[in-house]
A and B are shown apart, each in its own frame.
Chain A
Amino acid sequence: MASLSLKNIWKRYPNGYEAVKDFNLEIEDKEFIIFVGPSGCGKSTTLRMVAGLESISDGEFKIDGQLMNDVEPKDRDIAMVFQSYALYPHMTVYDNMAFGLKIKKTPKDEIDKKVREAAKILDLEKLLDRKPRALSGGQRQRVAMGRAIVRNPKVFLMDEPLSNLDAKLRVQMRTEISKLHQRLGATIIYVTHDQTEAMTLGTRIVVMKDGVVQQIASPQTLYNEPDNLFVAGFIGSPQMNFVDAVCEVEGQDVYLKAGDYRVPLSPEKGKKLIDGGYKGKEVIMGIRPEDVSDPASTRAKNQAVVKGTVNVYELLGAEVYLYFDMCGTQMTARVNSSTTARENDVVDFVLDTDKIHVFDKETEKAIAH
């Protein structure tokens, strides 16, 4: 396994388009790194630059301290699992998994041993003689994983490997990938646009937008302390509620005034706003749906109450999403399914003021969490 270093990496295409801008990341041995972001954010391009399938326009990419910019993909000792699996259609499962080793002229008995070991781990033993077309999506995905495992590479790259699977299988394979990481102790870079995959699999997550890294942090940190409005909105489902507000200061107390409502902030958050010179300025207040509740189920110590009419009631089994308007903005509350609130009911929604995030309206950067 290996450590990776990406310093000031840029990807510019001949037409001038910059797909990746000044990407910096140090990856420790055995880390499970997730690149996440919307389509076209540069996450797959970065992964392909690591694989050597795309050239690096500028910057330095090293594996174990060795510069890799001009090293051929075959010489990087990297394995990749593609979104489409990219299995060789004319080869059996066994041959697909053995192909890389055959190219390296590994002795036959060693190839056989490694392929059968990987097949055992991935429960593919009975499918070794089949061709890819005779496999289901999940089985193909496992063969693609097996092909990567047998080579015992320094780094595993996975480009949206679960996006072609149905929802149930995706959850199952997510768990298997997680187990595999623990078992192999491998360094993995995993690209996804699914933030649930990102949150559940990664030791660290790189959030990207328009080719620029927005934040690199652990899943917990990303969720609780997003660096900016984009990360706050991208991570979490349903996404964080955002309301335009004005920062008001009365003595030592700081409030966020949104429409007719005044939401008090904790002294720590208030101090950050005062120190940042936000008194009287417009900011964006953010609060996650689980921190907005109905009076019956709230457990917030410090509260602010806003009145709203329920527009939509969505029952998800264990919980309910209630959609309502606050100051012209649609808000989502994630409440217990025992709630009595229904569509068109006027409800006093409780905001947990300790969980409020405040963002600069111009720079969209976080001011306080």
Chain B
Amino acid sequence: MKSNSLERNQKLRTAGTYLFFIIGSIIMIFPFIWMLLTSFKTVAESMQIPPDFFPAQWIIDNFKDAMASLPFGALYKNTILLIFWRVVCAVAFSSMAGYAFAKLNFKGKNLLFSLVLVQMMLPSQIFITPQYQMLAKLGLTNTIFALVFPGLVSAFGTFFLRQAYMGIPDEISEAAYLDGCNQWQTFVKVMVPLTTSSMAALAVFTAVFAYGDLMWPLIANTDLKMMTLSSGLATLRGQFNTNFPVMMAGSLLAMIPMVVLYLFFQKQFIEGVAMTGGK
């Protein structure tokens, strides 16, 4: 009798857990489904109250209109270059800075690291004006460099990889010194290979952030051909009315690079999200 009631309670608990997660998943995925369905609706259907869940007719004209409204080739290229350079720079510079803060002894180390932490604590928006002024004075607005510029160094990346290097026992680097390595060889041949999973996580985090970054690309590059997917899509939104089906179709097209990236680096994505706490 007892074991039967125990089993029943356990099954109820499992069912409850499943129900909780299924509801959560539906809430999470609903906007995406809504976007997908809206992209096949007419403008009238998309604005209808009460709304219809499915379109009356599945039309693909919205995709054609989106592609005609925006230079998608340039947007894809700019977004891919933005992601590539931000990831390369963030991983390379954060790795070196993180190693220095974790394993090297130099004067002012703690003060410098405090400054890195301060940068992490301040909202990124306060840096936008000086960063834009610097770029404008250098005549570098409307360039790929302008898109990449704020992500050349990453305070979060430096902190994150410092923690990764701190987790490696000092004996490993000392063994490398005794094996004949200099500082650079120790870093490249021994320390970097030991932090690849953390670097992959940082790369994923940086890529996702760069892909979704809207404010800076909108400010730095006003020429449509130099915009990213996110800033380009924002131009579809009118001041008085917005063609939501076309916008949703454009958004679906804009998702392609991330979906492809995810398919190739699924394991790193999941690890990265778990390690960085990113979304």
Contact = CB atoms under 8 A, between A and B. Distances in A.
Nearest to B169: A84
A158 interface: no
Interface in A29-82: 51-53, 72-74, 78-80, 82
A87 B190 CA distance: 10
B177 A53 contact: yes
Given A88-B190, A89-B194, A90-B193, A74 B172 contact: no
B180 A86 contact: no
Contacts of A51: 174, 178
A88 B178 CA distance: 13
A51 B173 CA distance: 13
A99 interface: yes
A86 B171 contact: yes
Contacts of A167: none
Per DSSP, chain B at the interface is helix
A363 to B, nearest CB: 39
Interface string B160-203: 00000000010110111111111001000110011000000000
Contacts of B178: 51-53, 73-74, 78-80, 100
Interface string B131-155: 0000000000000000000000000
Contacts of A78: 178
Interface residues of B, number: 17
Contact of B185 (A72, A84, A87, A103): A103
Contact of A74 (B182, B190, B193): B182
Interface of B: 169, 171-172, 174-182, 185, 189-190, 193-194
A185 B176 CA distance: 25
Contacts of B181: 74, 103
Contacts of A87: 175
Contacts of B172: 86, 88-89
B132 to A, nearest CB: 43
B169 A86 contact: yes
Contacts of A147: 175, 179
Given A72-B177, A80-B175, A82-B171, 8 more contacts: A52-B178, A74-B177, A78-B178, A79-B178, A80-B178, A86-B172, A86-B174, A88-B194
B179 A103 contact: yes
Contacts of A83: 171
B57 to A, nearest CB: 57
A99 B171 contact: no
Of the candidates A78, A82, A86, the one having the most CB atoms from chain B within 10 angstroms of its own CB is: A86
A333 B176 CA distance: 49
A104 interface: yes
B183 to A, nearest CB: 10
A103 B180 contact: yes
